[in-house]
Chain A
């Protein structure tokens, strides 16, 4: 009944993970063949009680109902927009999911609400194998993004930017004094007190993306941000700040 890998070990597709074990497999990154469990992707092993998983390091964003995403308006019809959410499928945003009032396409132009090239913060409200994802921007805080900056990272590394119990993201916010909103599709929205702070936040996020598979990341990123702040002669947040 052995498990052949260690927690947080880097594995490749086809790597034998365990044999004759009664383990739960929850994601497509692990699969069963006979009574053996294999990895199907390049990623880090995540072992816990009766459960085995491989956290992928690469891959496209696959929408899930309830996900917060940042979309880019790509096209529009009479009463809907086509939104790019960095997934293999284009998302649909209906006017009914944007306005709280009736919309008459004869009197109003949909372009005046969201135009091509606009970024929107949205939520996925429907998606399955047979139909394209549908979005909404009706809830509080959702809608057009009018200020700040957007960075793109590989979607599978988003969990690292958030961290365990949101430790990484809390640290990022306090250290860089930026408001940061993470879209699960790998787009991150940053609003800072000044462009310098935003720049540091972007550099830090890019560093997290690049080093997603390493350990001790939060501390390293904090040190990195402080160094960058000093370089630019900006004020460093006081205290050791254990997040």
Chain B
């Protein structure tokens, strides 16, 4: 096992030079895949995720059909080249579980009752993993859903808060996750301040937990701003081109 590095230096800076409440550089793009009904690409620093959304469309196999609403199917998958050591492309226990929690984090915002007897399929592919892949996946998936024109209550933005060397920090990366004391991934509907995903790994006191949640909310709001920008960008680019 690797030696634990110093996660916070004497200036209070983290291993990659960030302040404790600072996000990694964000990059978002919408409509990156032509074949999909909706798609998005999201970067949280070195974590890179691409998402394709298909639907609403006919369900195969037919027996999964629900008479009163659409079903949502979600696949979270890490490419075999996403980690330093090759990951077997077969879905692992972890990926199956994450597919489920991500689906549940998104189910609440989609107006599924508008499209009975159909399915909405979400494919999340992690291209490069450096911590926070599930939250980046949720952020990207909600963008792709919006891009597909599927009516939803709100976008969903996700971010993880961690505790490293006794300090609560926003948007932890792989090293901080590995050697930190706690990890708290959160996904929220930013306009309604409703939480759609909340998991925790490690130990936090109750006070720390509430503190961490507040920090997560701050991160979510920042990510939400970037999401909106990315969505509008797809259209404003054309608008600027032709109207000037």
Contacts and interface: CB of A to CB of B under 8 A. Distances in A.
A10 B243 contact: no
B213 to A, nearest CB: 20
A242 interface: no
Interface string B143-155: 0001111111111
A211 B149 contact: no
Interface stretch (A37-45, A108-116, A182-190): A37-45
A31 interface: yes
B146 A41 contact: yes
Q: Contact size class for B?
A: 35 or more
B34 to A, nearest CB: 12
A67 B132 CA distance: 46
A75 to B, nearest CB: 13
Contact of A14 (B115, B153, B243): B153
A216 interface: yes
B232 A28 contact: no
Given A13-B155, A41-B151, A90 B235 contact: no
Contact of A90 (B56, B58, B154): B58
Q: Contact size class for A?
A: 20 to 34
B192 A40 contact: no
Interface in A149-180: 156
Contact of A211 (B56, B151, B238): B238
Contact of B242 (A16, A59, A211): A211
A89 B38 contact: no
Interface string B114-134: 111110000000000000000
A14 B191 contact: yes
Interface string B209-230: 0000000000000000001100
B6 interface: no
B102 interface: no
Given A10-B232, A14-B191, A42-B231, A216 B243 contact: yes
Nearest to B230: A12
A12 B231 contact: yes
B240 to A, nearest CB: 9
A13 B151 CA distance: 7
B129 to A, nearest CB: 28
A89 B117 contact: yes
A58 B147 CA distance: 7
A169 B59 CA distance: 36
10 contacts: A10-B232, A12-B227, A12-B231, A14-B155, A42-B235, A58-B38, A88-B57, A88-B115, A129-B116, A210-B238
Interface of B: 37-38, 55-58, 67-68, 109, 111, 114-118, 146-155, 189-192, 227-228, 231-232, 235-236, 238-239, 242-243
Given A12-B232, A40-B151, 16 more contacts: A10-B236, A12-B227, A12-B228, A13-B146, A13-B152, A14-B190, A28-B111, A31-B111, A33-B153, A58-B38, A58-B147, A59-B149, A60-B149, A88-B115, A213-B235, A216-B243
